[in-house]
Structure 1
Amino acid sequence: MSRKMKNKIVTNLLIERIAAEGKCVGHHEGKVVFVQNVAPGDVVDIRVTRGKSSFLEGEAIHFHEYSKDRVNAFCSHFGTCGGCKWQHINYDLQQTYKRQQVVDQFTRIGKIEIPEVKPIIGSAHTQYYRNKLDFTFSNNRWLTREEINSGEDFERNALGFHIPKMFDKIIDIEHCYLQGGISNEVRNQLRDFARTHQLSFYDIRKQEGLLRNLIIRSSSTGETMVIVQFGANEAGPIQLVMNFLQEKFPSITSLLYIVNLKKNETFHDLDVITFSGKDFIEEEMEGLKFRIGPKSFYQTNSAQAYELYKVTRDFAELNGDEIVYDLYTGTGTIANFVAKQAKQVIGIEYVEAAIVDAKLNAQVNGLDNTLFYAGDMKDMLTDDFIAKHAKPDVIITDPPRAGMHEDVVNMLLKLEAPKIVYVSCNPATQARDVALLTEKYTVDKIQPVDMFPQTYHVENVVRLTLKS
């Protein structure tokens, strides 16, 4: 079937709605057709890229009509870079579809009886809202068809983002609308400096080259962290690069570097060297300070993180007497945020370095009613642990995209805490877990929060109350 359908042209396809993962849907000869970079209301011709017995996937090659809900994409890289796939859809409609995504995951997939899902809390900023971006150096820049067909030689060294589904191709970014401050200037000037001085950009296939990765973190307090990851331990060139950044950008408050000779860019097991400034930046929320180190996790939209945590705290309805368990606590941001309204908060997290940050943040803020433990959640949350720390009155859980392990869900059912507040960046796995919890719990509040404008991603908070 797939060979017969591939490259077939389907004409005058009406795009009807948005489905999971931001793909749009139409129908052709009884089959569902998934198409990217279109909007509901578009009428298009598509080339089939994948064909199955029950569905097709395709790319738009010609537009007969444009949707009334379309807007002009503001980024010159839109359509090639995979970062902001919904730039062409107006923001009000983006929010409508994200809320509907939550409804669909819970009612159609989870088959859960739920209250009315509240209107999504939209982001006041739909551009320059991220506080962290990762850029990759590459000696294999993505070339457009026009460049390839011209037969000319082009600059192949690039600093930017991976092309979707192509691990070794990097689109060279001129201006990114995701992060403000000095982010664009740092990236572009470092790239130009490296080209001028003929420093080697990383070859991901050969696993060699000096310049490998650039991470820029910023905070609402005006601080900036820049981390350069080098793929070769060459003292002279490393010093050259770091001196350039220090002198060119004196506003960088935390200038760090890493020598990474591994076959992947993860650096949680590597030493981070402070070249100048501090080894952390600080965020602030309701007077609380949160130190963010190079290995720390922090929500990448600071303003919306505050909205998310306020919803979480409101759903918990704390009066000061509760024992709160904060599962998958990370660097303890939620735990420390709600601590003043609780008797005690106990945070559990798999990553040991994150727990070090959580304890430090509690200390910085003078919080003496928090406890933090590192370990695998399904191994930590045991009868002995509960007996030692008392049974929770409220459980807050914010697991990774994969959701909670089945053993953790079973322990929550066994614990029978009066309230569970479940925060998730993936409503699909959240709905799966909540469906299991409805054996003993009722879903009584659902609040989506838009952390990532111009994308299909949505954060969601659910409150479950123990059945009487």
Structure 2
Amino acid sequence: MSRRKNNRKIFEDVAVIDAGAKGKAIAKAPDGRVIFIDNAVPGDVATIQTTKQRKAYYEGSAVSISKFSERRVEPVCEHFGVCGGCKWQNMSYKDQLYFKQKEVENNLIRLGKIELPEVQPILGSERTYFYRNKMEFSFSDNKWLTLDQIKSDEVITNRNALGFHIPGMWDKILDLNKCYLQQDPSNAIRDFVKEKAETLDLKFFNTRKQEGFLRTLMLRTSSTGEVMVLIQFFQEDAPKRMALLDAIAAQFPEITSLLYVINNKGNDTIYDQEVICHAGRDHIFEEMEGLTFKINAKSFYQTNSEQAYELYKVTRDFAGLSGSEIVFDLYTGTGTIAQFVAKNAKKVIGVEAVPEAIEAAKENAQRNSIDNVSFFVGDMKKVFNDGFLREHGQPDLIITDPPRDGMHADVVQQLLQIKAPKIVYVSCNSATQARDLAMLDVQYKVTKVQPVDMFPQTHHVENVVLLEKR
């Protein structure tokens, strides 16, 4: 049964049948169209109000649930449903893994249209909370108010917040009490910074007006127990800046690296900004299987250290190296995968478009006493010319770990021209991976597939594929 309300439709007693892309649940409307739902779990029976209508589908939300799914669990976080960061926290972890594996298989079959071998069971994370090593929080003088606060007669004079952006509302920040994504001392540092900033009467940022003093807080932790804290200020005010940073250093002597940035741009990205060390050193160290990696404020490193180790072990296993191979590592970043497989290869060539990442890769390799890796800055679409191949040799294996958008079509064509016997493709987006695999299918057959869960409580999933020359 359905009825209209303010040009929107309400469907009653709708069975939620599946989970789809971007963490949406899926149901079927009486007219046969798919409904993508924000706040339901497969197995729920719900009344759904649509928010958007398209020719082939609706988008909507469950306004009430008449039957709760057996897949449901009680969310642990008080901010669940508002924050938007852990969309699957109301689903059992076992079922999260089931739907992640299903998404990988569906994408490779339906989008890639490739002949698929048996997909190995997804590697779940031992830690389902407190697994992230990096978090970024925003300051705001215009915090998000709950409906109860809006409806009440309470006069709210303090609108300061330190937390996450409300999904779809770039200028509203959810003030966090406790976050379950990063281990201690993350929550303690964040809460102290907010309290001390208010005690010092420091102005929280206003995004619309582009004014204020405090912009963002970044926290990084490592498996070695080191901690990095970075405060981003909108403008310089040395006495106020030093008062806050000195207080943080005194309260948390375990902080390894205490940094700051003065950023008066229109956006809060720090990659084009000078990072200044207030106390300690300007970096922390991550460790993996005896290798150490220097992490500075701008470094990329997988945000789940424990699962990154599992991911790289799968990559190395799929590579099947004997010690005599030449390996090309595309999108090498700071060279973590390249160095991880180097002891099993004759030579590893890492290529990356970001010069700072390559400098870090070279420094890490030197620190780890690895002398059979070389790193080069280059546009992946252009770097693999005849001269490059003559200089470095024909690769026996190519490892590629591109960003979410996948590989550019020109890069895929480069791989087809190089004709390496094997390719190991690591992806954080199985949909774009499937697109690329479809283009590679003319020369390569997918022989192994291994999903790895890096982000429990979310819909995100990594996937590793081995391709072998036909």
Q: TM-score band (shorter)?
A: over 0.9
2: distance between equivalents of 1:318 and 1:4?
62
Query: Corresponding residue for 1:16?
Result: 17
Amino acid at match of 2:459: Y
Query: Corresponding residue for 1:318?
Result: 321
What SS does the aligned partner of 2:382 have? helix
What SS does the aligned partner of 1:140 have? coil
CA contact (8 A) 1:5 1:50 kept: no
Query: Corresponding residue for 2:110?
Result: 108
Residue 371 in 1 paired to residue 406 in 2? Answer: no
2: distance between equivalents of 1:310 and 1:450?
14
CA contact (8 A) 1:381 1:408 kept: no
- Root mean square deviation, CA, Å: 1.1
Q: Which runs of 4+ in 1 moved over 4 A?
A: 3-6
Distance 1:6-1:224 versus aligned 2 partners, 3 A rule: farther
1: distance between equivalents of 2:300 and 2:60?
36
Distance 1:331-1:12 versus aligned 2 partners, 3 A rule: same
Alignment of 1:275-286 (within 5 A): 275-286=278-289
1: distance between equivalents of 2:5 and 2:40?
24
Query: Corresponding residue for 1:122?
Result: 124
Structure 2 length as normaliser, TM-score? Answer: 0.97
2: distance between equivalents of 1:219 and 1:6?
51
2: distance between equivalents of 1:413 and 1:307?
29
1:221 to 221, 224, 249: 224
Query: Corresponding residue for 1:382?
Result: 385
CA contact (8 A) 1:123 1:451 kept: yes
* Between 233-242 and 448-457, the greater mean CA deviation after superposition: 233-242
Amino acid at match of 2:385: T
Query: Corresponding residue for 1:446?
Result: 449
CA contact (8 A) 1:31 1:55 kept: yes
Amino acid at match of 1:416: K
* Between 125-134 and 19-28, the greater mean CA deviation after superposition: 19-28
2: distance between equivalents of 1:5 and 1:33?
18
Query: Corresponding residue for 2:256?
Result: 253
Distance 1:6-1:92 versus aligned 2 partners, 3 A rule: farther
2: distance between equivalents of 1:153 and 1:313?
59
1:457 to 457, 460, 469: 460
CA contact (8 A) 1:216 1:225 kept: yes
Query: Corresponding residue for 2:34?
Result: 32
User: Deviation digits for residues 154-204 of structure 1, max 9, x if unmatched?
Assistant: 221100000011110100010000001200000011101111222100111
2: distance between equivalents of 1:6 and 1:196?
49
2: distance between equivalents of 1:4 and 1:174?
36
What SS does the aligned partner of 1:423 have? strand
User: Deviation digits for residues 103-133 of structure 1, max 9, x if unmatched?
Assistant: 0001111111110111000000000000000
Query: Corresponding residue for 2:344?
Result: 341
2: distance between equivalents of 1:177 and 1:397?
32
What SS does the aligned partner of 1:356 have? helix
Structure 1 length as normaliser, TM-score? Answer: 0.98
Alignment of 1:36-435 (within 5 A): 36-154=38-156, 155-435=158-438
1: distance between equivalents of 2:153 and 2:408?
53
Matched length? 465
Amino acid at match of 2:32: G
User: Deviation digits for residues 337-394 of structure 1, max 9, x if unmatched?
Assistant: 1111111111011111111110011001000111101122112222221122111110
1:46 is displaced (CA, Å) by 1.7
User: Deviation digits for residues 14-50 of structure 1, max 9, x if unmatched?
Assistant: 1011111111111112111111121111011122111
Gaps of at least 5 residues in structure 1 are none
User: Deviation digits for residues 394-430 of structure 1, max 9, x if unmatched?
Assistant: 0000000000011110010000000000000000000
What SS does the aligned partner of 1:102 have? helix
CA contact (8 A) 1:115 1:443 kept: yes
Distance 1:195-1:317 versus aligned 2 partners, 3 A rule: same
2: distance between equivalents of 1:199 and 1:11?
50
1: distance between equivalents of 2:389 and 2:380?
13
2: distance between equivalents of 1:5 and 1:462?
48
1: distance between equivalents of 2:385 and 2:136?
37
